[in-house]
Structure 1
Amino acid sequence: MTLFRKRLITLIIIVMVLIGFLPQKASALTVSAKGAILIEQESGRILFEKNAHQRMRIASITKIMTAIIAIESGKLDEMVKVSNKAVRAEGSSLYLKPNEQIKLEDLVYGLMLRSGNDSAVAIAEHVGGSLEGFVFMMNQKAAEIGMQNTEFANPHGLDDHENHYSTAYDMAILTRYAMRNEKYREITGTKVHRAPNPTEKWDRVWRNKNKLLTKLYPYSTGGKTGYTKRAKRTLVSTASKDGIDLIAVTINASDDWNDHMNMFNSAFEKYDLVKVVEEGYLRTDSSFYKGKVFVDHDFMYPLSSEEKKEIKLNVELLEPDKREWRKQENVPDIVGTLTVNLGDKTIEEMPIYFDNGNVDRPKETFWETLKSIFLVILGVK
């Protein structure tokens, strides 16, 4: 071997060793699931997705829809008579007894914690009048909240119908909707629930099957597990940390617990929930609009540290009609638009209101209220 070749080989080895010491870029997030999505609750922003709009069988995460319809029915305090059809439901069960009377609220707990298929049928028959009536309600709600690639055929998710499917994205939409309901959040976040047992001296005790909530993940706030032979493992879960609330969905996943924890950890590390726009009056150079225009709510959005620098706000106001708008009450309620851009992408458009006496003013902060009181005492206001 020549001296040149020896030196070349030595140089190559040195370069390879040095490359090994260089900081490595974090590898892209991967999941075992065939379909997956991660969204932020407040804004609905998609933070990660994989085949998120592909229609798939969903197993027992179906019961999220069953639960929220039962909760919204206003009948949680009613007693439900369990039918023979409910008792004969296949798969996971609460072991309900024919003709027993059980509170609808307890059935929803059993549905979400223990995934009782008998509970799902009992709920459907009581709230919808029949299984068919309840399925109609499920699909009606799905259309109402924008689940465009979903069809429900039963209240439990068993593989007894071909036309029962959804997508990771649609299930995230459903969960985002459900998580706005305080009772749903309470039930999905419960680790253990006790319900009266009509034929025994002791209560029924139901422990949540969601291991993220019960032992694996300290930031877990709830969710729903699922499994059938055709759908495989499905999972919806929620988590909260440092003011940011996340929703994760996986469908047909061999390692769903880790999929969810990895998605959550990646987002918690990368994003902060930022108040991009604050409710209240806007600054403007226009003498006509000065101190008179406002937005009526905050706009929160998850942003990485790099993205925070790319946020731009643009205010567009109507040209004042000096003839028609001489009286304040003649000015339209909405006089412009506040556009929020992330780089070249518009992420929000907010109406700008005029304080004409016809629209609700923004809420005063504590210090603004204190200032107003002080001015009244002085006789200035």
Structure 2
Amino acid sequence: MKKQLTRMIAYIAIAACFVTGIGGQIAYASPSISTNAYATALIDVQSGRILYSRNGDVATRIASLTKIMTAIVAIENGNLSDKVKVSTRAAGKEGSSIYLRAGEEMTLSNLLYGLMLRSGNDAATAIAEHVGGSEAGFVFLMNQKASELGLEHTQFRNPHGLDEEGHYSSANDLAILTAYALKNKIFAEIVKTDHKKAPNPNEKWHYSWRNKNKMLRMYEGADGVKTGYTKKAFRCLVSSATRNGQQLVAVTLNDGDDWRDHRNLLDWGFKHYPHSRLAEVEQAVSGSSLVYGANYNYPLEKDELDKVQASVTLIDPSSPHYALGERGRMQFFLEGEPIGSVPLYEKGSMRLKLNKRAATEESFNQFKQLEKREHSIFFKIVDWLQK
């Protein structure tokens, strides 16, 4: 039994010990840019670095940008193949709609497309009632997720974003939330979809939804995310785009010229903060026999590269990590603030070969999402073996 568990530890550790990124640092060095928005944020998805922010921490109304949280909570807590029965309350929800009828059934997956492409408030309510047991139960899950992600200027009162006192977020919080959500493959696939059809049980024709997000059709590399509008929140928009392997998210709240502003924001980010390669898998660490265990990129303005510092922390030989091949970590700093770390291995080690095979963007995102949970499992098993 213990041999099997030891083998399990090895498999878990392969996924758990990869690149660690530390988000939250805000960039200031680049040439200035402005928008027509009350509040703005621009974030690099992989690193979590906020590249631009104006009134970024001011809590304000966010309209249907709420549905970004609705979607990721539903994906993480629901079963996409479930048939969701639409309640009278959901079918009668005011505002934007995909025109669901009371009593009809639709898969949770298709409801999510109706939610994100057409901003259906009826879809949001049906999703909430199904996944959360009630709208209130689902809103609890939304606020729980906001707390988990450290969104300090966010509070939800409903799953759709209709104006309600006490329902708010901020540009920076929405940027952080969206960067998190885009690392989920299902969410990313939904929000980049331009057109979707779904079965209609009430008519001979199918539902046919065209994405309201015009950025998908007007900006090279655009791949999301969500539009929003109410009479009190005014025009709100979250957009994302990927170029040269780098994905950025722009957020504007109360912006009468949002399409133009988002094009300019994204262009500015890609131009002034491209990814710089700080570590290359199998690259030798100067002055030692160790090599980097993964690639690591970070968005840097041209004058910042010389300000990056690195520090090695060696692992205690008695540590379980040492037994599994890791010899240390290279921690990177920008002007004294930690921005990420990379595991270090002996050249030619089996662990290094396995990490190299996994060093793709998709694997990186999967590993990052599993890292906390798998580390917890790892050390619980180690404790059991040592008893």
Q: TM-score, normalised by structure 2?
A: 0.77
**Any gaps of 5 or more consecutive residues in structure 1?**
1-25, 367-381
Specify whether residues 269 and 27 from structure 1 end up closer, same or farther in structure 2 by C-alpha distance, changes over 3 A only: closer
Q: Which moved more, 1:67-76 or 1:187-196?
A: 67-76
3-state SS of 1:306 partner:
coil
Q: Distance in 2 between matches of 1:130 and 1:316?
A: 49
Match of 1:190 among 193, 199, 208: 193
Q: Which whole-Å CA distance do the structure 2 matches of 1:341 and 1:267 have between them? A: 21
Is 1:250–2:241 an aligned residue pair? Answer: no
Match of 2:238 in 1: 236
Tell me what 2:50 maps to: 46
User: Which residue in 2 is equivalent to 1:225?
Assistant: 227
Deviation digits for residues 22-74 of structure 1 (CA, Å, limit 9, x no counterpart): xxxx9731011111100111111111110111100110000011111222234
Note the C-alpha offset of 1:173. Answer: 1.1
User: CA 1:192–1:329 in structure 2 vs 1: closer, same or farther (change >3 Å)?
Assistant: closer
Aligned counterpart, 1:213: 216
Matched, 1:167 2:170: yes
Cα deviation for residue 337 of structure 1 reads 4.5
What do residues 186-220 of structure 1 show as CA deviations (whole Å, max 9, x unaligned)? Answer: 11001111111112111111111001113x21221
- Which one of the candidate residues 101, 120, 128 is aligned to 2:105? 101
Q: Distance in 2 between matches of 1:131 and 1:330?
A: 48
Q: Could you tell me whether the CA contact under 8 Å between 1:78 and 1:104 is conserved in 2?
A: yes
2:43 and 2:176 in contact (8 A); partners too: no
Shift of 1:364: 6.9
Flag structure 2 segments of 5+ consecutive residues without an equivalent. Answer: 1-29, 358-387
* Aligned residue identity for 2:219: Y
Amino acid at match of 2:198: A
Q: Which amino acid is 1:188 matched to? A: V
1:116 to 112, 117, 120: 120
2:281 aligns with 279
Correspondent of 1:363 among 336, 349, 354: 354
**Residue pair 1:280, 1:363 contacting (<8 A) in 2 also:** no
Q: Which moved more, 1:256-265 or 1:271-280?
A: 271-280
Distance 2:325 2:342 in 1: 13
Alpha-carbon distance in structure 2 between the residues aligned to 1:62 and 1:330: 44
Q: Give the aligned partner of residue 303 of structure 1.
A: 300
Residue 180 (structure 1) shift? 0.7
For the pair 1:131 / 2:122, whether they are aligned, the reply is no
The equivalent position to 1:338 in structure 2, one of 305, 320, 330, is 330
Q: 2:36 matched to 1:32?
A: yes
Instruction: Find the aligned partners of 2:137 and 2:34 in 1 and give their Cα distance.
Output: 40
> 1:27 & 1:311 partners in 2: Cα distance?
20
Structure 2: which amino acid aligns with 1:301? Y
1:66-103: CA deviation from partner (whole Å, max 9, x where unpaired): 11122223411111111000011110011111101111
Q: 2: distance between equivalents of 1:186 and 1:329?
A: 35
CA distance in 1: counterparts of 2:133 and 2:356, whole angstroms = 49
Bigger mean CA offset, 334-343 vs 181-190: 334-343
Q: Residues 173 and 344 (structure 1 numbering): CA distance in 2 closer, same or farther, change over 3 Å?
A: closer
Q: Percent identity, please.
A: 46
1:150-161 equivalent positions in 2, closer than 5 A: 150-159=154-163, 161=164
For the Cα contact (< 8 Å) 1:38–1:249, is it kept in 2? Answer: yes
What's 1:21 paired with? none
Question: For 1:316 and 1:145, how far apart are their aligned partners in 2?
Answer: 27
Q: Deviations over 1:140-198 (max 9, x none)?
A: 11111221211111000001x31111111111111111101111111100111111111
Once the two structures are overlaid, the 10-residue window that deviates more, 67-76 or 117-126, is 67-76
- Specify which structure has the bigger relative contact order, considering alpha-carbon pairs within 8 angstroms and separated by 6 or more residues: 2
Contact 1:337–1:349 (8 Å) recurs in 2:
yes
Residues 205/232 of structure 1: CA separation in 2 closer, same or farther (3 Å cut): same
Task: Give the TM-score, by structure 1 length.
Answer: 0.78
| Cα distance in structure 1, aligned partners of 2:73 and 2:86 | 18
Shift of 1:280: 3.8
Question: Structure 2 vs 1, CA of residues 202 and 279 (structure 1 numbering), >3 Å: closer, same or farther?
Answer: same
C-alpha displacement of 1:333: 7.3
CA contact (8 A) 1:63 1:157 kept: yes
Residue 365 of structure 1: how far off its partner (Å) = 5.5
Which of structure 1's runs of 4+ aligned residues deviate more than 6 A? 328-334
**Larger Rg computed on CA atoms:** 1
Q: Structure 1 residues 317 and 31, CA, compared in 2 at 3 Å: closer, same or farther? A: same
Amino acid aligned to 2:94: E
Contact 2:179 2:249 in 1 (8 A): yes
Call closer, same or farther: CA 1:353–1:94 in 2, change over 3 Å. same
In 1: Cα distance, 2:340 partner to 2:88 partner: 51
Q: How many Å separate the matches in 2 of 1:129 and 1:142? A: 19
More off after superposition, 293-302 vs 28-37: 293-302
Name the CA distance, whole Å, in 2 between partners of 1:317 and 1:198: 62
Cα distance, 1:344 vs structure 2: 5.1
